[in-house]
Amino acid sequence: MPHLENVVLCRESQVSILQSLFGERHHFSFPSIFIYGHTASGKTYVTQTLLKTLELPHVFMNCVECFTSRLLLEQILNKLNHLRSSEGGCSTHITCETFNDFVRLFKQITKAESLKDQTVYIVLDKAEYLRDMEANLLPGFLRLQELTDRNVTVLFLSEIVWEKFRPNTGCFEPFVLYFPDYSIGNLQKILSHDHPPEYSADFYAAYINILLGVFYTVCRDLKELRHLAVLNFPKYCEPVVKGEANERDTRKLWRNIEPHLKRAMQTVYLREISSSQWEKVQKDDTDPAQLKGLSAYTHVELPYYSKFILIAAYLASYNPARTDKRFFLKHHGKIKKTSFLKKHEKITSLVTLQLLTLVGHDDQLDGPKYKCTVSLDFIRAIARTVNFDIIKYLYDFL
């Protein structure tokens, strides 16, 4: 078993507190723990690593993916059921419609020998989305240990403070644990830990120091900084690879990488060009602003749900409206027509990337209209990454 201090860096205090709260496997832990902090502050990584390293029975749920209470409750029960299946438990799919049903089924599942004499942990990531579900869900999870009379702890992971969750009617108060932002020293230590084996630790640490010197004022997101570190490291190594400098020629290495890091600041967070395209920009000394039009986005990196928005926009742009029922309704009958994109909906990044374009006027009463501008080959490539056969839903291919 790896030592936690070698796996989880710069979160020793939080790990120590969580281990104290968890206690021994057979001890009753704190009923509910609320962990909050800004994005990329290590909440999810620390929690997952701790539970896996200690080999504690747990289920991890993302409340964005489980966007209804029924879906969330069923996923928890079925994952727990899978944990006990190794001892011959039933592996059939469990259905659950209400929280009362959830409590009853949870008590049945946790009777299994493998779960009975130890704490079971339920982790709810992106817990702020619970506020949009049924009103009894949050208070129920907070008191799940009491309601089920089982050794269970529910961990809530959120970017929002607990005061934004607390119902007006009152509820059981969880243990609140704050994850502060990483300091520049923390980021230096974490990023330097990722150094490639073919280069010395000091050489990579010097590179990270330069990287943070350029980007720390505009970006403190560990995930984005990690991406930038991987993306720009080959350019930093270039003089060493060519034999024009050695690993200790810090000044020459800095002069070589400085203009490229400053150019990379234009694409922080947006990811509007891929890693392979960025390598071409560095090689040819061209300005990324010149990569305009759809050709610049052949391998664009989009968030998971943005891909579905783009696919839906493409279908809405190129299929006749009268074919919607044919493609998307399983049952006949009247349905209320809803606009595909509502006013104030956040699709600005897709517009910035020139994947969608505004048509009509901004002051339309039913909200702005957008048209998808990507090619068929492009949308097929995007659809393949999410296992969606878009050809089946295009009118021109009937």
pLDDT tens figures, 251-276: 889 988 988 888 777 666 555 455 55
Asked whether residue 29 falls in the same domain as residue 75, the answer is: yes
In a domain, residue 52? The reply is yes
Asked whether residue 199 falls in the same domain as residue 262, the answer is: yes
Residue 36: per-residue pLDDT: 96
Asked whether residue 379 falls in the same domain as residue 241, the answer is: no
In a domain, residue 284? The reply is yes
Asked whether residue 248 falls in the same domain as residue 291, the answer is: yes
pTM: 0.68
Structural contact between residues 240 and 262, judged by C-beta atoms closer than 8 angstroms: no
Return averaged pLDDT per consecutive 10 residues of the chain, 398 residues in all. Answer: 76 95 91 94 95 94 92 95 68 90 95 86 95 92 95 96 87 95 95 91 93 88 90 91 89 88 71 51 49 42 81 87 68 45 54 76 62 84 85 81
Look at residues 296, 330, 349 and tell me which one is the last residue of a structural domain: 296
Asked whether residue 222 falls in the same domain as residue 344, the answer is: no
**Residue 219: what residue type?**
C
Residues in contact with 315: Cβ distance below 8 Å, sequence separation at least 6, in sequence order = 327, 390, 393, 394
Q: Alpha-carbon distance 67 to 87, whole Å? A: 31
Look at residues 272, 296, 320 and tell me which one is the last residue of a structural domain: 296
* Residue ranges making up the domain that contains 160: 1-178
Q: Alpha-carbon distance 157 to 51, whole Å? A: 14
Look at residues 243, 261, 296 and tell me which one is the last residue of a structural domain: 296
Asked whether residue 345 falls in the same domain as residue 258, the answer is: no
**Does an H or E element contain 71, and which?**
helix 69-84
Asked whether residue 264 falls in the same domain as residue 334, the answer is: no
In a domain, residue 398? The reply is no
Asked whether residue 243 falls in the same domain as residue 263, the answer is: yes
- Total domains, the chain: 3
E-assigned strand segments in the chain:
32-36, 58-62, 120-125, 152-158, 175-178, 356-359, 369-372
In a domain, residue 321? The reply is yes
In a domain, residue 358? The reply is yes
Asked whether residue 152 falls in the same domain as residue 44, the answer is: yes
Distance between first and last Cα of the chain: 56
In a domain, residue 131? The reply is yes
Q: What is the pLDDT of residues 213-241, one digit of tens each?
A: 988 888 888 988 998 999 899 999 999 99
Asked whether residue 134 falls in the same domain as residue 281, the answer is: no
Asked whether residue 260 falls in the same domain as residue 310, the answer is: no
Q: Which two tokens stand for residue 307?
A: 């891909």
Average pLDDT, the chain: 82
Q: Are strands 32-36 and 120-125 parallel, antiparallel or unpaired?
A: unpaired
Q: What is the pLDDT of residues 193-210, one digit of tens each?
A: 988 999 999 999 999 999
Asked whether residue 190 falls in the same domain as residue 170, the answer is: no
